[in-house]
Amino acid sequence: MEIQKPKSTSVGLQEENLHHQSSQIHTLSFHSPLCLLSVSTLCNISTLLEFFFSYRKAKIFHCSFQALKKKKKKKKKKKKKKKKVIKDMGILHDDVVLISQSDKEGEPSVITVNCPDKTGLGCDLCRILLFFGLSIVRGDVSTDGKWCYIVFWVVCKPTTRWELLKKRLVEACPCCSSASEIFYYRSELQPPKPPDVFLLKLCCYDRKGLLHDVTEVLCNLELNIKKVKVSTIPDGTVIDLFFVTDTRELLHTKIRQEETYKALEDIMQRIVINFNIEKVGPEIAACSQASPFLPSGITEDIFHLEVSNELPSVSLTSSNVSVVMDNSLSPAHTLVQIVCQDHKGLLYDIMRTLKDYRIQISYGRVYIRQGRKCEIDLFIMQADGKKIVDPSKQSTLSSHLKMELLQPLRVAVVSRGPDTELLVANPVELSSKGRPLVFYDITRALKMLNTCIFSAEVGRHMIGDREWEVYRVLLDEGASLSIPREKVEEGVWKLLMGWE
């Protein structure tokens, strides 16, 4: 009997695998041209295909894994952002200031401000509204000491630049910085840098109303007039020197200077002889400031009330001012109730006074009724978070508010030998900000009265313990004789108060 040698196990397995693979290939690709190939070739192709598909699967898995990782990271970032917004009281950029313009002419538009709180915020916002020529007819203020919500109902002009107004209001909101279009609260570590001062020199031929037209252009360009020196030469040539700062901080650029020159040239109808803008150093800016003290004659003419601390008895005042303080209605706040006659910048004058005394407003309501009667209720407290209990402090604050509402500005027309001089003065905030558009209103009133200006100066002076911005306008001798001084005085006063 012949004994068969057993086949090698490895060889048997190879043949079995080949047979299995070939059967798989034949089964899967029976109708494919691959069936015409040899078994060994098909095995190699099968191995390559298996490697290819396994590599492909691995790559797809790797990509999907990376995508999943990125997705998780994004979710984590979003969660962190949400937490940071809640923690830091963040708010969307578009929600800091909301403006709802009225559909009908004469009806008030609504401005809503929602931002972190600070002492004096209401003053800063009212100052901007006054600069843009808006009249506040109603207002509501509410704050918890950290976050505030303010609503103004305002009557606007047809030429109101709403986008620019919104930008300036957002900039006034404290401690806001943009990050991914979200505003976050941050504490102010350093005081803001003082703006650069520029000297604008303008030489041109004189005409009636020229100074007002130039002032109007500078105001529209957001160039703040810090000091003015205007003089007229006997040959009819005018030399104007304006020390200005730029709200947009672009006056050092050629484009901004050309924009200023073109705007002035458009309204001056080719009467410009020479025009130049240059940045001045701090030493020149300091020298440009007027003497800190006024002559005694001027002080007596328009500041006798401030020196004597008496209520005014002259005709150029507001009327029916009542200021009452009450500590019985709130356990934590002092209620201030004000009833007075409305005037341009009324709420600014109140907020400015409270800001200088470092008084915080927790809740406030302002309402102006028909006949220009204004009613204001303010729940206030001191910087230390306590109500005003001291009777002397109450009396000081009450009398100061009453004085500011009776005479927010001082106006007088006086004789200086053969010349006639118009004097206007307004108090300066402790933050060194003056009342906006005063010089603009003065020149506009004189233009409406057909009164020419021979020279004009603007400077800041210390009267008592306060700083004042004083406007000295020397009227043209021929024009001043044709109009009574009382009429000039009254016309300027009414325009400044918004009663024209």
For residue 235, pLDDT over 90 is answered with: no
Which of 116, 144, 177 is the endpoint of a domain?
177
Same domain, 428 and 478: yes
pLDDT of residue 477: 65
Lowest mean pLDDT among 51-60, 214-223, 401-410, 452-461: 51-60
For residue 397, pLDDT over 70 is answered with: yes
147-155/109-116 β-pairing: antiparallel
Same domain, 203 and 290: yes
Asked if residue 337 lies in contact with residue 376, where contact means CB atoms within 8 angstroms, the answer is yes
* E strands, 369-489, in order: 373-381, 410-416, 419-427, 453-463, 466-475
For residue 421, pLDDT over 70 is answered with: yes
Lowest mean pLDDT among 184-188, 211-215, 361-365, 452-456: 184-188
Which of 362, 377, 406 is the endpoint of a domain?
406
Same domain, 423 and 287: yes
Residue 225 lies in a domain: yes
pLDDT of residue 64: 58
For tokens 């325009």, the residue is 495
* Number of neighbours of residue 488 by Cβ within 10 angstroms: 22
Same domain, 414 and 287: yes
Lowest mean pLDDT among 176-185, 190-199, 224-233: 176-185
pLDDT of residue 332: 93
CATH number at residue 465: 3.30.70.260
Same domain, 419 and 488: yes
Same domain, 373 and 436: no
pLDDT of residue 207: 85
Number of domains present in the structure of the chain? 3
User: Does residue 209 come out as left (phi exceeding 0), alpha (psi in the -120 to 50 range) or beta?
Assistant: left
Residue 18 lies in a domain: no
Same domain, 414 and 359: no
> What is the residue-averaged pLDDT of the chain?
79
- How far apart are the C-alpha atoms of 110 and 161, rounded to whole Å? 15
Q: Name the residue among 121, 35, 204 with its Cα closest to residue 431.
A: 121
Residue 90 lies in a domain: no
Instruction: For the chain, give the number of residues.
Output: 500
Task: State the average pLDDT over residues 386-405.
Answer: 94
- How far apart are the C-alpha atoms of 445 and 495, rounded to whole Å? 6
Residue 32 lies in a domain: no
Lowest mean pLDDT among 233-237, 304-308, 401-405, 428-432: 304-308
- Reduced to 3 states (helix: H, G, I; strand: E, B; else coil), residue 303 is coil
Q: What are the φ and ψ backbone dihedral angles of 80, each rounded to 5 degrees? A: -60, -40
Q: Name the residue among 310, 303, 312 with its Cα closest to residue 426.
A: 303
Confidence of residue 476 (pLDDT cuts 50, 70, 90): confident
Residue 26 lies in a domain: no
Q: Output the six-digit token pair for 388.
A: 């005003």
Of 446 and 40, the one with more pLDDT: 446
pLDDT of residue 309: 45
Question: Percent of the chain having pLDDT more than 90?
Answer: 46
Half-sphere exposure of 329 (CA within 13 A, CB side): 11
Question: Percent of the chain having pLDDT more than 70?
Answer: 69
Confidence of residue 400 (pLDDT cuts 50, 70, 90): very high
Contacts of 432 (CB under 8 A, 6+ apart): 467
Of 499 and 40, the one with more pLDDT: 499
Same domain, 117 and 239: no
Same domain, 228 and 296: yes
Q: What is the pLDDT of residues 302-358, one digit of tens each?
A: 665 443 444 444 456 667 899 999 999 999 999 999 999 999 999 999 999 999 999
Q: Name the residue among 351, 342, 284 with its Cα closest to residue 318.
A: 342
Q: What are the φ and ψ backbone dihedral angles of 86, each rounded to 5 degrees? A: -70, -40
pTM of the full structure: 0.75
Which of 389, 406, 423 is the endpoint of a domain?
406
Of 286 and 442, the one with more pLDDT: 442
pLDDT of residue 35: 42
Residue 23 lies in a domain: no
- How far apart are the C-alpha atoms of 483 and 449, rounded to whole Å? 8
Domain of residue 101 covers 97-177
For tokens 């020390």, the residue is 243
Residue 376 lies in a domain: yes
Q: Output the six-digit token pair for 213.
A: 């037209």
Residue 171 lies in a domain: yes
Same domain, 113 and 134: yes
Same domain, 245 and 269: yes
Q: What is the pLDDT of residues 265-306, one digit of tens each?
A: 998 877 888 999 999 887 665 555 555 556 666 666 666 544
pLDDT of residue 483: 80
> What distance separates the 2 farthest-apart alpha carbons in the chain?
157
Confidence of residue 144 (pLDDT cuts 50, 70, 90): confident
Q: What are the φ and ψ backbone dihedral angles of 478, each rounded to 5 degrees? A: -65, -40
Same domain, 268 and 391: no
Q: Measured in whole angstroms, how far is the alpha carbon of residue 421 from the centre of its chain?
A: 35
